[in-house]
Amino acid sequence: MTGWRLGYIAGPKHFVAACAKLQSLLTSSPNSISQKAGVAALGLGHAGGEIVAEMVKTFRKRRDFLVKSFSEIEGIKISEPQGTFYLFADFSSFYGKEAEGFGRIEDSESLCRYLLDKGLVALVPGSAFGDDSCVRISYAESLPILNSAVDRIKKALAPLKSAAELL
């Protein structure tokens, strides 16, 4: 139920009970349209059948493209996600670099601002998820758009890479 902020949890009773306590303090209930969408999704049957199988195939292609693309960029460490449409990639080798016309890149937040400014690509700082060495990259877009984003990121990182190689 991507984007609908609707889901469920299954697990050991004590774990689910603890999650329920936490959830009750954060939200009250899903809105009515999300509830209707959830009922419709459950009506699709086991794993959504053909529709979901096609979505999984499409997202796998996107994931594989981005993992390969970012693995080829010196200074980026990446692992293959197993169940989401986000990559969590370590860009920390670019921290501490001066970017002409921007200033010093200190952390995931300043790197994301730099990539937005110079590459016109929006990423989410890893600090929002407890790991400031990383950035979160969504692949809920088409392959042509992802390809363009990778090209823009490479171009934006090129001056920083050159500076890193000179040190």
Q: Write the CATH number for 118.
A: 3.90.1150.10
Q: Which pLDDT value is given to residue 166?
A: 47
Q: Which residues contact 133 (CB under 8 A, 6 or more apart)?
A: 90, 91, 92, 95, 108, 126
Residues 41 and 94 in one domain: no
Query: What's residue 44's pLDDT?
Result: 67
Domain check: are 88 and 99 in the same one? yes
pLDDT of residue 36: 84
Q: Do 123 and 113 form a contact (C-beta atoms < 8 A)?
A: no
Counting as low any pLDDT under 50, the low residues of the chain are 163-164, 166-167
The β-bridge relationship of strands 134-138 and 86-90 is antiparallel
- Residue 106 within a domain: yes
Say if residue 27 is in the same domain as residue 78. no
pLDDT, position 45:
61
What pLDDT was estimated at residue 136? 95
Residue with tokens 């989410």: 124
21 & 34 share domain: yes
**Per-residue pLDDT at 7:** 73
Considering the domain architecture, whether residues 69 and 86 belong to the same structural domain is answered as yes
pLDDT at 21: 84
> Which residue range forms the structural domain that includes residue 89?
49-166
- Per-residue confidence (pLDDT) for residue 134, from 0 to 100: 94
